[in-house]
Amino acid sequence: MSEAARYEPWKNRDMTHVRPYGDTFDDGVVQLSFSLPVPPGEEAAEAARQLVTQMGFVEPSVTHQHDLGEDFTFVVLYAKTKAAVDFTKIKVAKVDSPRMSFYEINEFIEENFGRKITIIGACTGTDAHTVGIDAIMNMKGYNGEYGLERYPMIDAYNLGAQVENEEMVAKAIELNADAILVSQVVTQKDVHIPNLAQLVELLEAEGLREKLILICGGPRIGHELALELGYDAGFGPGTLAPDVASYVVQEMMKRGLK
């Protein structure tokens, strides 16, 4: 073994076997915490150790436990894993259109479409949390980026919260929308999944699905999930208006939606 491989093993690391790093290369150290529906004590700690052993961890060590009342115990553990992933084989679905600026997007629309494009957005179903859709659409925007309402070449309509999918489709027809943005913040018990899927079905029934860009977003939404549900793209936390608008205009171009 060369000096470098012995003392700086991360320099030529094997990317086909990647595991967590604690404080020593390849140690596989993981921190874990969870609650058990049992009273606190030695038995609770042992139960936690056995559980993580069953999960495939080794050398589990309970560093803290606390009585939550009502016969529940919170435990904190450290353990090691022997599991590893082949990083060279990782494939992730990502939105890959380049991000343009506010000015570039407006220019792009003017040059390529020669008209304003229309984007409608809402929090649909029972979801009442507009913080996400507001950040993308409202004039003011978020984190230093203007929202879509501010874009001179975009007619943006933020329909607000708890909009039914049927209403969304009706609005899309009425306004001749080029793109629909659906925000879903409440994802407890996967309530967003059937709601998002229903919109796709309604659009397909109306023969609209191929004529517009359909996007969903929210803190628990990713591009992969969006594709699975029949959307064109999904945007997660940290998304700003230009991310969405760049994708919309480029996808419209690609699909020849003029």
Partner 1 sequence: MSKLYLDPNLIARARTAASDIADSLQSFILERTTVAVERTVLRLYGMDGVDADYVPLPNVVVDHLKEGGVLERGAATFVLNAVLQTGRTIQEIGEAVADGTLNLCELPLASLDEIRKKGIELATASLERIRANRAKRDEYLTRLGEGPQPYIYVIVATGNIYEDVVQAKAAARQGADIIAVIRSTGQSLIDYVPYGATTEGFGGTYATQENFKIMRAALDEVGEEIGRYIRLCNYCSGLCMPEIAAMGAIERLDVMLNDALYGILFRDINMQRTLVDQNFSRMINSFAGVIINTGEDNYLTTADAVEQAPSVLASQFINEQLALRSGLPEEQMGLGHAFEMSPDLEDGFLLELSQAQMAREIFPRAPLKYMPPTKHMTGNIFKGHVQDTLFNMVGVMTNQGIQLLGMMTEAIHTPLIHDRHIAIEAAKYVFKNMRNFGEEIEYKRDGKIVARAQEVLNDAAAKLEEIRDIGMLEAISRGMFADVKRTMTGGKGLHGVFMRAEDYWNPFETLLRAELGLEAMAR
Which residues contact partner 1 by CB under 8 A?
Answer: 33-35, 66, 68-70, 72, 74, 126-131, 134, 138-140, 160-162, 186, 188-189, 191, 219, 237
From 94, 140, 254, 258, active-site residue: 140
Which burial class, exposed, middle or buried, applies to 121 when counting CB atoms under 10 A from its CB (0-12, 13-18, 19+)? buried
Nearer to partner 1, 97 or 162 (CB): 162
For residue 184, give Cα distances in angstroms to 72, 76, 223, 234, 240.
Answer: 32, 32, 14, 11, 15
Q: Which residues in 37-57 are b (16+ Cβ under 10 Å) and which e? A: eeebeeebbeebbebbeeeeb
User: Can you spell out the DSSP letters for 118-183?
Assistant: EEEEEEBTT----HHHHHHHSTT-BTTB--GGG-TTEEEEE--SSB-HHHHHHHHHHHT-SEEEEE
Nearer to partner 1, 213 or 216 (CB): 216
Strand partners, 81: 57
11 is annotated as an active-site residue = no
CB neighbourhood size of 25 (10 A) = 12
Q: Distance between CA 140 and CA 149 in Å, rounded? A: 8
Q: Distance between CA 37 and CA 42 in Å, rounded? A: 14
Nearer to partner 1, 105 or 133 (CB): 133
Question: Residue 99 has what DSSP assignment?
Answer: P
Nearer to partner 1, 2 or 188 (CB): 188
Residues classed as catalytic: 140
